[in-house]
Amino acid sequence: MYDFDMLGLAPQLNTAIKEAGLTEPTPIQNKAIPLALEGHDVLGLAQTGTGKTLAFGLPLIQHLLDQPGKPREKTVKALILAPTRELVNQIADSLRNLTAKTKLRVVTVVGGQSIGKQIKLLSRGTDILVATPGRLIDLMDRRALDLSTARHLVLDEADQMLDMGFIHDLRKIAPKLGTPRQTMLFSATMPKQMEELSQAYLSNPKRVQVAPPGKAADKITQSVHFVPGPEKPSKLREILSNDAGALTLVFARTKHGAEKLMKGLVADGFNAASIHGNKTQGQRDRALKAFRQGTVNILVATDVAARGIDIPGVAYVINYDLPEVADNYVHRIGRTARAGREGQAIAFCAHEEAGLLRDIEKLMKITIPVASGTPPTDFTARPKRGQKQGQRRRSGPPRNRSSKPAGNGQAPQGTKRRRPRRRKAA
């Protein structure tokens, strides 16, 4: 272990770090920063909330400070790609705090905002560009920027970019960047496709991993309530009332469900807002700002916000609906217990969600403590072959799905045999 003063960073960076109240690096920072400062490509694996932004941000800024000169018009020196608008803004805010006493310029480009304004911003030249892949492709098509001068590429939350289909955009973007370049890839999980991605875009990378995939932060206390779907609203209100005023993030599965849940809470006197894909960028930014400042203490969100909220004061994460993908549970609960704090992750599980909970526990290699309710009697039973977890088997005889005649030449029972068509005379 070392402290930030031992890294040999520029005085402006050391000042920014101290003003942020940081003294010792987190484990991922401890391992990744020295390697990145040496110029190595880095493959970093760590759960959310462990300080990955500084792990790539500090060495990136240091490299740029060592390269004097302003960027030319439309050019970019370093590119950071992230899957969501919220995460782009979060990364940019952190980098701007670090570069406040330097001449480095950080620019963001995301969908949902005026592309004309973004083209104007890029025309001045950019030191660090933080972008979502889709909007970046739009700007490339309009020839609004030149990536050939970019010698640094960072892929943050790369596993989510894969899940969202951005691999195709990455194949268009990467060849436009300059070479040689340093590439850093950071992710919370390491699916097989991630290994292929690292082989394609990283050169002899140094791999750093501080926790096994699927592991939550140690200071998160987890629990599950087995509650029927119709009783979820009353259970949620009961929990929210027990600690009124605490910053609470509530995850719903769908955009419509999140909005309906938020409006119901507001109607009952709770101070709530929502964030999901049907909201404009301005609405999402205002909701996040209100939540960060505490003027709204309950934020109802879909998975669009699972990796884009870095608010140390979040005390509770409530999984009102369990996610369809087990990995997303880890990302959701990673919104609490950040920056060394403690937090609680509370899950609701209806009978039809039992299979989803089983998948989460299998991924995390734990059994989540039961806070209330009774698990379904078949919760520990393995699903039968051909049957998905959490799916009930139909009663009655199986349906014959075949449309072909039976082996004896007779049509299956309950079906009609077609008469052969008569051929017309020529």
Tell me the C-alpha to C-alpha distance, in Å, between residue 245 and each of 201, 270, 271. 46, 9, 9
Q: Which residues pair with 317 in a beta bridge?
A: 249, 345
Provide the residue-wise pLDDT of the chain in tens; the chain has 426 residues.
468 888 888 999 999 999 988 888 988 999 999 999 999 999 998 876 778 999 999 999 999 999 989 999 999 999 999 998 888 998 999 999 999 999 999 999 999 889 999 999 999 999 999 999 999 999 999 999 999 999 999 999 888 888 778 888 999 999 999 999 999 999 877 777 778 888 889 999 999 988 666 667 678 999 999 999 999 999 999 999 999 999 999 999 999 999 999 999 999 999 999 999 888 878 988 998 999 899 999 999 998 766 667 787 899 999 999 999 888 898 889 888 876 688 999 999 999 999 999 999 998 999 999 999 999 876 654 444 344 444 433 334 444 443 343 444 444 444 444 444 444 443
Residues 314 and 346 sit within 8 Å (Cβ to Cβ): no
In angstroms, rounded to a whole number, what is the distance separating the alpha carbons of residues 55 and 131? 18
Cα 77 vs. chain centroid, distance in angstroms?
A: 25
The two three-digit tokens of residue 223, written as one number: 């629990």
DSSP string, 140-165: HHTT--B-TT--EEEEETHHHHHHTT
pTM for this entry = 0.71
Sheet containing 152-156, strands listed edge to edge, beginning at the edge strand earlier in sequence: 106-109, 126-131, 76-81, 152-156, 182-187, 42-45, 206-209
In angstroms, rounded to a whole number, what is the distance separating the alpha carbons of residues 253 and 303? 7
Residues 297 and 240 sit within 8 Å (Cβ to Cβ): no
Q: Kindly give, in sequence order, each residue whose CB lies less than 8 Å from that of residue 5, ignoring residues fewer than 6 positions away.
A: 14
Residues 189 and 327 sit within 8 Å (Cβ to Cβ): yes
Burial bucket for residue 360 (CB in 10 Å: 0-12, 13-18, 19+):
buried
Which pLDDT does position 222 carry in this prediction?
A: 97
| Alpha-carbon torsion angle 160, 166, 168, 173, nearest 10 | -110
Burial bucket for residue 344 (CB in 10 Å: 0-12, 13-18, 19+):
buried
Locate the DSSP E strands across 96-212: 106-109, 126-131, 152-156, 182-187, 206-209
Which pLDDT does position 271 carry in this prediction?
A: 97
Residue 361 has phi, psi (to 5 degrees) of -65, -35
The two three-digit tokens of residue 353, written as one number: 């969600």
Q: Which residue in this structure is represented by tokens 């933080």?
A: 130
* Nearest in space to 358 (alpha carbons), one of 379, 330, 336: 379
Residue 133 has phi, psi (to 5 degrees) of -60, -40
CA-only gyration radius of the chain, Å: 26
The two three-digit tokens of residue 167, written as one number: 């691999």
Q: Which residues pair with 138 in a beta bridge?
A: none
Q: Is the peptide bond between 412 and the residue preceding it cis, with omega within 30 degrees of 0?
A: no
Which pLDDT does position 339 carry in this prediction?
A: 65
Amino acid, res. 239: I
Q: Which residue in this structure is represented by tokens 């979502």?
A: 132
Give me the half-sphere count of Cα atoms (radius 13 Å) on the Cβ side of residue 180: 7
Which helix (H) or strand (E) segment holds residue 299: the answer is: strand 298-301
The two three-digit tokens of residue 6, written as one number: 């031992």
Q: Which residue in this structure is represented by tokens 């605490």?
A: 246
Domains of the chain with bracketed CATH = 4-209 (3.40.50.300), 220-372 (3.40.50.300)
CA 113, 165, 319, 226 dihedral sign is positive
Tell me the C-alpha to C-alpha distance, in Å, between residue 368 and each of 59, 215, 353, 359. 38, 13, 14, 12
Which pLDDT does position 307 carry in this prediction?
A: 61
What is the distance between the terminal CA atoms of the chain, rounded to a whole angstrom?
91
Tell me the C-alpha to C-alpha distance, in Å, between residue 297 and each of 86, 126, 291. 18, 36, 6
